[in-house]
Amino acid sequence: MKRRQFLMGASAAIGLPLLPSLLPRSSWGGQITPPTRLLVYYVPNGMQMGFFTPDNEGPDYDLKEITGSLQPVKDRVSVLTGFANVPAVDVVAGDHARGTGSFLTCVPIRHTAGNDIYNGVSMDQVVAQTIGQDTPFPSLQVGIQPGGNTGDCTAGYSCAYTRNVAWAGPQTPLPNITDPQVLFDRLFGVDLSLTPEQRLLRGRMRASILDEVHTEALSLQVRMGADDRLKLDQYLTAVREVEVRVGSMGGGGSCAPAERPPRDVSYAEHVGVMHELMVLALQCDMTRVVTFMIGPAASNQTYDFIGVPGAHHQISHHQDLETNILDLVTIGNWEVAQFADLVSRLDATPDAQGSLLDGTLAYFSSEISDGDRHDHHNLPVLLAGGGNGVHQPGIHRRYTPTTNELGRPIADLYLWMLQTMGVDVSTFGSDGIAPIDDLA
């Protein structure tokens, strides 16, 4: 039976990273294989692929204007081009909704704004259904912008399609947690069934989650080797830092009532805090499957802080105007930089046999490629991490059409991911029948 590692406090249980010296003696000296983890990173409104796609294939690919922010982690990230999501193609309007709804399902969604939504099961949830029982949370869905799943969000398509990429079933989208305090509380043991007053009282009584478990952490350290003591110290320090940052974003700390961050908190800081929380969730093995939406489909987020004050979706209908295209390149570069930041955090986090990134497949993409033409082919795809040896990153692979003229089905990439994550499947979605085999 798998032995999980926890620090137990009076009112909290904090999962620990895998610490070999705390495992049973029978396992000492053996090779410890960390679990493989999956992280999906969605960005809206596509990319200008002429400023994204490397000119050369293979290793040491060249960085373009959008991907230049990958430089610090270039050898840990592959660029994959030529993929298409054909099930999202239709002759009617609504490409953002279709592209996002089928982003991880690769099946056509039902055109409706009512309660009769219909989709497939997303790739991440197929993984979660296979390995999710090994962790407290089978999967986590994280986002930045809140919003409900009812109503018409675009061209007669339900908001359920535009605000979610994780689907547990054809009519079961899994909403994102967008409040950092709520995510922190869910991960680290605050009882969300309590009233705000009860939670505040409990917070005052224990002062901090880490204060409750500090003594037990010290007692465990005498049984640890030097490497594990360093890992535990790094982990507890990271939890403390995130606790302080989340508390500063509104309400008064991890045990206070969870509130939406105040309005003067920047969008960029919100993204950074969510990065920290996702890494902690993976590090302490609270989950092994995470999806993250930096914005919903057709997001009209503004980017004044990088010199682009206009609405993203509006700018993405660029009409080949140079000013619009340059703004889209600036936004794309910032989005890729955020992914690079998350990759760096994973790579700096120790795991059983290396870094957390070594055991993770981190996938980055969007619902379309060109925002003006609403293309569902030549999608922007980045893949980071080693997945415990299944991916040798740092290359550019250009894929050619197989079952359709638009490109290699993105479902073939997902099928490979599923198989490497231990899922026994031979097909996925509407057109995933031939898993890619050239990334190891």
Query: Do residues 223 and 22 lie in contact, with contact meaning Cβ atoms separated by under 8 Å?
Result: yes
Strand partners, 351: 354
Write down the pLDDT at residue 271. 95
pLDDT mean values, one per 10 residues, the chain (440 residues): 40 54 49 86 98 97 98 98 98 98 98 98 98 94 95 97 98 95 78 60 51 62 69 64 50 34 70 93 93 98 97 98 98 98 96 91 98 97 97 98 96 98 97 96
Map out the domains of the chain as residue ranges.
1-28+181-259, 33-179+267-420
Q: Output the pLDDT for position 184.
A: 84
Token pair of 273 as six digits: 């805090």
Strand partners of residue 173: 167
What's residue 196's pLDDT? 62
Largest CA distance in the chain: 66
In 83-204, the DSSP E strands lie at 83-84, 140-143, 152-154, 157-158, 167-169, 172-173
Distance CA 395, CA 402 (A): 21
CA dihedral 356, 361, 362, 363 (to 10 degrees): 180
User: For residue 58, which phi and psi values (nearest 5 degrees)?
Assistant: 85, -160
pTM of model > 0.75: yes
CATH of 33-179+267-420, one of 3.40.1350, 3.40.50, 3.40.720, 3.30.420: 3.40.720
